[in-house]
Chain A
């Protein structure tokens, strides 16, 4: 299914308003730069952008297939063809890495504003695609679009302050937050902010509620299973993990560890610096760990699970129709199979018929020996090994118990990306596979 006239007529009003909004946004920016900041060059640039957006708005309002601005079909096909879980994960990782490494460049207001404009225009062009729009405009998915823009905005707010503070600290100056230790009365300074905030949030919520109806599908039926069946959006990262792990780990153990790890964080982070002000350089390790967990393992997986996983939890490109008939070849292999059959060319060890419990357990242990050895090395040998090498200073500062908790939490967190890589490269399904005890890892 590709864009047809009916669909474009339906979104024409929305897209017209959307581009007009971008135009006004840029117009205001131009005005501020010209009058307040005295930067006529940039002011002219954004005024021109505003003009272009108005043209796009009127083209979009036409609602005719030849005029509504959209990505060429060939580009959309190419994006669909290229995209997949591997490229998505590696791509977002690369993006975050670039943003982090060149953060001093990206926090510059004009750079950030350009990025925002580009993102909004790509979004607008994509919305003219029926398949893209049907997923993104699904009522319950709208908050996630909002989440993406808000996270980007607040990360910019935080990082631009952190960059300034880091430069100041490098020069031996105190962070910006410390310069001014003036105190003000809560009435009126805070109480009024709170009031304005409440009015603004109420207004926002009312507008949202008036323009977007809450979803209500057919009455519940326990026999008609929808395809795909999805958990609420904030749990879709967990559902995405089910691709790589069994539910006992992806749905129970790992989430519990996330909660435990978050709670343990203030007791594990022994770094006294960076308390109460934005800074990256002073706490790079904890910053990177948190951002990796939050952005890479939580947010991007939610976006993947919401927008790019269709029927049968198959991967679909952003402009691809969610057909339930898409077939993906599953040729995943377990580690015991790889080790005994493929490598040693022997059958899997199997207990003889009617063998006692001990023999059975012994056989299972023998069969799973390669996986268990690997896991054992990962969880038991690696922490002490790291303690005497990479984390030597950490170990000295933290002591045995705290260090072991931190090391194990980090290793558990890394099981997800490691399993992803093993799946993509070796088609590995389970490292340890004991169906007899429902224990697959």
Chain B
């Protein structure tokens, strides 16, 4: 163990890790306070709160899947161009030509799994009554995160640009056409009329705003790509940070009061 000892005593090692190896009680406490990645956690925690049968780990798994999606998503972006000319061909090439040919599988199955684990996490939080005071607001953030997870999955569904993709998005976004007042087939869209001119048409309604066009086309592909890769992940990251911070501030992980 001499080499290990030398490395751990070197200036480089010590400059990176601000604490000795967490082998004794004191250093196990210090490590939680001085390490950036660990300081999200408290130093000590209720033993029954981390029992598997109680917590199911589903929130943590969801976050881990979010990280998996981020990493595989960035790698996919190297190969994928969101244009009508290339989108489908790039996905084909990803399957048939690219090495590490399971990148898209990891991303897609990870996304499905993330939707499921989010539901299970929410289910557990409900069943243990952990949304009750003082955690009401964190539950609200959680509901928004659930919505963002579904939107992430929904916007990503279009990107392979195959039949499955555009028709799923067409069916899904057709609903927006019927938004009350703001959709051109929705109830009350006649109300927004100025000087006899309809304000809500198929070129200005909620569905148009979502798709960037009157039907699912290249504008939609671009729009969903930007939403999927930048806008929604950014919003999700911010809310995740608040979600985790509030877990600590609202009395730590759930357990009987």
Listed in ascending order, the chain A residues whose CB lies under 8 Å from chain B are 140, 143, 146-147, 150-151, 154, 157-158, 161-162, 174-178, 180-191, 193-194, 197-198, 201-202, 205-206, 208-210, 212-222, 224-226, 229-232, 234-235, 238-239, 246-248, 250-253, 259, 262-263, 265-267, 269, 271-279, 283, 287, 290, 294, 434, 437-439
Contact of A263 among B92, B143, B215 (CB under 8 A): B143
Known: A212-B105, A248-B186, A438-B185. A185 touches B168 (CB 8 A): no
CB distance from A419 to the nearest CB of B (A): 17
Contact of A224 among B56, B88, B124, B163 (CB under 8 A): B163
A305-B38 Cα distance, complex, nearest whole Å: 43
On chain A, the residues within 8 Å of B106 by CB distance are 205-206, 209
Contact B47 A231 (CB under 8 A): no
Q: Would you call the interface of chain A mostly helix, strand, loop, or mixed?
A: helix
On chain A, the residues within 8 Å of B135 by CB distance are 266
Known: A206-B106, A248-B179, A266-B135. A279 touches B50 (CB 8 A): no
Known: A184-B45, A216-B91. A158 touches B179 (CB 8 A): no
A252-B190 Cα distance, complex, nearest whole Å: 18
A231-B174 Cα distance, complex, nearest whole Å: 10
Known: A177-B256, A205-B113, A213-B95. A218 touches B163 (CB 8 A): yes
Contact A246 B42 (CB under 8 A): no
Contact of B109 among A182, A191, A212 (CB under 8 A): A212
CB distance from B61 to the nearest CB of A (A): 6
Q: Does B237 contact A (CB under 8 A)?
A: no
Contact A238 B175 (CB under 8 A): yes
Q: Does B102 contact A (CB under 8 A)?
A: yes
Task: For the complex of A and B, list the 9 residue pairs with the smallest distance between their C-beta atoms, beginning with the closest.
Answer: A251-B175, A209-B105, A266-B136, A247-B178, A439-B187, A143-B112, A248-B178, A274-B129, A276-B256
Contact B129 A180 (CB under 8 A): no
Contact B120 A275 (CB under 8 A): no
CB distance from B16 to the nearest CB of A (A): 17
Known: A187-B38, A438-B185. A205 touches B68 (CB 8 A): yes
| Most chain B CB inside 10 Å of its own CB: which residue of A185, A274, A287 | A185
Q: Which of B3-11, B153-161, B239-247 contacts A (4 or more CB under 8 A)?
A: B153-161
CB distance from B154 to the nearest CB of A (A): 6
Number of interface residues of B (CB under 8 A): 98
A45-B254 Cα distance, complex, nearest whole Å: 39
Q: Mark B109-133, 1 if CB is under 8 A from A, else 0.
A: 1101101100110011011111111
Contact A230 B53 (CB under 8 A): no
A276-B25 Cα distance, complex, nearest whole Å: 29
Which residue of chain A has its CB nearest to the CB of B255?
A276
On chain A, the residues within 8 Å of B255 by CB distance are 177, 276-277
On chain A, the residues within 8 Å of B153 by CB distance are 232, 234
Q: Does B170 contact A (CB under 8 A)?
A: yes
A222-B211 Cα distance, complex, nearest whole Å: 14
B residues 15-44 near A (Cβ < 8 Å) are: 22, 25, 28-29, 31-32, 38, 41-44
Supply 14 further A-B pairs (C-beta < 8 A) apart from A154-B124, A184-B44, A212-B109. A186-B43, A188-B22, A188-B28, A190-B45, A197-B64, A215-B164, A218-B162, A226-B167, A238-B175, A265-B139, A266-B131, A275-B256, A275-B257, A278-B128
Which residue of chain A has its CB nearest to the CB of B126?
A290
Contact B28 A219 (CB under 8 A): no
Contact B41 A272 (CB under 8 A): no
Contact A219 B44 (CB under 8 A): no
Contact of B88 among A162, A219, A247 (CB under 8 A): A219
A186-B29 Cα distance, complex, nearest whole Å: 8
A147-B25 Cα distance, complex, nearest whole Å: 41
Q: Would you call the interface of chain B mostly helix, strand, loop, or mixed?
A: helix
CB distance from B119 to the nearest CB of A (A): 8
Return 22 A-B CB contacts under 8 Å, by A number. Answer: A157-B53, A180-B47, A181-B48, A184-B47, A194-B60, A205-B106, A205-B110, A206-B106, A209-B102, A219-B88, A224-B163, A231-B168, A247-B175, A251-B176, A265-B139, A266-B132, A266-B140, A271-B132, A272-B132, A294-B123, A434-B187, A438-B188
Which residue of chain B has its CB nearest to the CB of A180?
B48
A235-B174 Cα distance, complex, nearest whole Å: 13
CB distance from A429 to the nearest CB of B (A): 16
Contact B44 A185 (CB under 8 A): yes
Contact A276 B168 (CB under 8 A): no
Q: Does B108 contact A (CB under 8 A)?
A: yes
On chain B, the residues within 8 Å of A185 by CB distance are 25, 28-29, 32, 43-45
Contact of B47 among A183, A230, A271 (CB under 8 A): A183
On chain A, the residues within 8 Å of B154 by CB distance are 232, 235
Contact A209 B180 (CB under 8 A): no
A193-B185 Cα distance, complex, nearest whole Å: 52
A191-B35 Cα distance, complex, nearest whole Å: 13
On chain A, the residues within 8 Å of B44 by CB distance are 183-186
On chain B, the residues within 8 Å of A290 by CB distance are 126
Q: Does B177 contact A (CB under 8 A)?
A: yes
Contact of B171 among A158, A175, A191, A239 (CB under 8 A): A239
Contact A219 B115 (CB under 8 A): no
A278-B153 Cα distance, complex, nearest whole Å: 31
Contact A183 B45 (CB under 8 A): yes
A238-B124 Cα distance, complex, nearest whole Å: 23
Contact A205 B46 (CB under 8 A): no
Contact B31 A187 (CB under 8 A): yes
On chain B, the residues within 8 Å of A263 by CB distance are 139-140, 143-144
A168-B107 Cα distance, complex, nearest whole Å: 45
Q: Does B216 contact A (CB under 8 A)?
A: yes
Which residue of chain A has its CB nearest to the CB of B27?
A187
Contact B186 A252 (CB under 8 A): yes
On chain B, the residues within 8 Å of A221 by CB distance are 163, 166
On chain A, the residues within 8 Å of B128 by CB distance are 276-278
Contact of A275 among B31, B52, B132, B147 (CB under 8 A): B132
CB distance from B104 to the nearest CB of A (A): 5
CB distance from B176 to the nearest CB of A (A): 7
On chain A, the residues within 8 Å of B199 by CB distance are none
Q: Does B217 contact A (CB under 8 A)?
A: yes
On chain B, the residues within 8 Å of A151 by CB distance are 120, 123
Which residue of chain A has its CB nearest to the CB of B112?
A143
A146-B120 Cα distance, complex, nearest whole Å: 12
